[in-house]
Amino acid sequence: MNQTEHNKKLFIETVGCQMNVLDSELVVAALRQDGYELTDNHKLADTILFNTCSVRERAEEKIYSQLGRFKYSKQTRPNLVIGVMGCMAQKDQKLIFQRAPHVDLVVGTGQLAEIPRLVGEVRNNRDRQLAVSLGRRDGSRTEVSQSFQSYDPLRDPEMRPSPYQAYVRIMIGCDKFCTYCVVPMTRGPEQSRPPSEIYREVVALKDQGVQEITLLGQTVNSYKHTENGKQSRLADLLELIHDVDGIKRIKFVTSYPKDMTVDLLQALRDLPKVAHYLHVPLQHGCDEMLKRMKRGYTVADYREMMARIREIVPGCSISSDFIVGFCGETEQAHQKSMELVRECRFKNSFIFKYSERSGTRAAANFPDDVPDEVKKRRNNEMLDLQNAISAEDNADFIGREVEVLV
């Protein structure tokens, strides 16, 4: 084979949140239009992509160690193209080439549309390619926003794990700047997609046989878009999509506690296709910690929100995320988080040990002072508590009849 001939087989590894799952689906669909075929065996592939996450250090370390495994592959497979895309690409940029010199391609979350062209470029010229967006302080808001392009091309039904379920992005980015979090840097400014575009995508998905739609956004209920002089919020969007015949169920993740408005909850109550499920992370049960995290609400605000949900949508399932071992977390503060887990009786909680991320305000301002063994113990304690609550809750379903989508 000469340099440009290759078998067009693509292997992709995806870690991180639902946004990444969707991004991978879209990138694979675009490469398939370019003649690529997907393989689940990296040894057969001539193009290997890693869709990465930066939210915790461990997620990054895993990718770097996987990349390390391909260090010598190019000696025997000169046509191999190795690319890193997604959040770690945006965060680490050139550093990836330094840490893994055999990587050919680094593509941030805002440049995914360019991947087919960039892969071709590498293959034809053996030139390294770097495509990333501006940093949050590297230009005006408009310039930075424009450098993060929402990537939502036509959907390819064959790329979805289930033909009946699909993700639809309604917004990109985040402006909340919780002090521990890299997402505002890796995904850029908060930008909502126009309702007309979202509607068209949902109709196209319905035509492909999709019955369940999950709307995605980092703070999905902060959705706000003005089109033809009319402002739409998430409640309006739910109503719009609800009218699409053939769509049977609608969900949305992840919600931000402060934006859980009455009209959104009423939409949940009044639109039968909308699942009675909310993922609305509390993160911590102590006001001092919440303030230090800059979450923008107090425990009392969260309690009020819980009461509002339970009043308007009785029986609604609520799940949460928690961080244990955040900077300055005392045993007492941790116990307050435990109390809230007990009190709120979440359906489920995702519990994370705090991981310091460079570039965040927490990394700059507060020492990461809770020892790892303590983080581990607090994590396990909370997990045990949540598991016990979930088990009790699940036991309630024994003998009940519910509608499921198979």
177, interface contact from ligand F3S, ligand SF4, ligand SAH, none, CB < 5-8 Å by kind: ligand SF4
Q: Which of 141, 188, 193, 138 is nearest to 168 (CA)?
A: 193
How many residues of this chain bind ligand F3S (CB under 6 A)? 12
Distance between CA atoms of residues 327 and 178, nearest Å? 13
CB of 354 to ligand F3S, least distance (A): 15
Contacts of 331 (CB under 8 A, 6+ apart): none
Beta strands in 89-199 (DSSP E): 105-107, 129-131, 165-169, 171-172, 191-192
Bond preceding residue 219 cis, omega within 30 of 0? no
Please identify, using beta-carbon distances, which residue of 55 and 205 lies nearer to ligand SAH.
Answer: 55
Backbone angles phi, psi at 209, to 5 degrees: 100, 5
Please identify, using beta-carbon distances, which residue of 205 and 278 lies nearer to ligand SAH.
Answer: 278
Per rule CB under 6 A, is residue 12 in the interface with ligand F3S? no
Q: Which of 382, 325, 330, 386 is nearest to 353 (CA)?
A: 325
Give the residue at shortest CB distance from ligand F3S.
Answer: 16
Per rule CB under 6 A, is residue 55 in the interface with ligand SAH? yes
Burial class, 373, CB count within 10 angstroms (exposed 0-12 / middle 13-18 / buried 19+):
exposed
Per rule CB under 6 A, is residue 188 in the interface with ligand SF4? no
Contacts of 60 (CB under 8 A, 6+ apart): 52, 53, 54, 88, 92
Per rule CB under 6 A, is residue 53 in the interface with ligand SF4? no
Paired residues of 213 in beta bridges? 166, 250
Contact window for ligand SAH (CB under 6 A) among 34-42, 126-134, 178-186, 241-249: 178-186
CB of 308 to ligand F3S, least distance (A): 27
Please identify, using beta-carbon distances, which residue of 11 and 180 lies nearer to ligand SAH.
Answer: 180
> Which x/- pattern over 223-262 shows residues binding ligand SF4 (rule: CB under 6 A)?
---------------------------------x------
The token pair at 160 is 């979805």
Q: Which of 254, 38, 242 is nearest to 160 (CA)?
A: 38
How many residues of this chain bind ligand SF4 (CB under 6 A)? 10
Paired residues of 81 in beta bridges? 47
Per rule CB under 6 A, is residue 149 in the interface with ligand SF4? no
Per rule CB under 6 A, is residue 183 in the interface with ligand F3S? yes
Per rule CB under 6 A, is residue 16 in the interface with ligand F3S? yes
257, interface contact from ligand SF4, ligand F3S, ligand SAH, none, CB < 5-8 Å by kind: none
Per rule CB under 6 A, is residue 168 in the interface with ligand SF4? no
Per rule CB under 6 A, is residue 172 in the interface with ligand SAH? no
Quote the Cα angle for 201-204-206, to 5°: 110
Find the binder of ligand SAH among 151, 180, 302, 346 (CB under 6 A). Answer: 180
- The amino acid present at 41, given as its one-letter code, is N
Bond preceding residue 360 cis, omega within 30 of 0? no
* Residues 27 and 131: beta-carbon distance below 8 Å: no
Per rule CB under 6 A, is residue 350 in the interface with ligand SF4? no
* Residues 382 and 337: beta-carbon distance below 8 Å: yes
Paired residues of 38 in beta bridges? 10
Per rule CB under 6 A, is residue 187 in the interface with ligand F3S? yes
352, interface contact from ligand SAH, ligand F3S, ligand SF4, none, CB < 5-8 Å by kind: ligand SAH
Tell me which residues touch ligand SAH (CB under 6 A): 55-56, 180-181, 183, 218-219, 254, 281, 283, 321, 323, 352, 354-355, 357
Residues near ligand SF4 (CB under 6 A): 174, 176-178, 181, 183-184, 218-219, 256
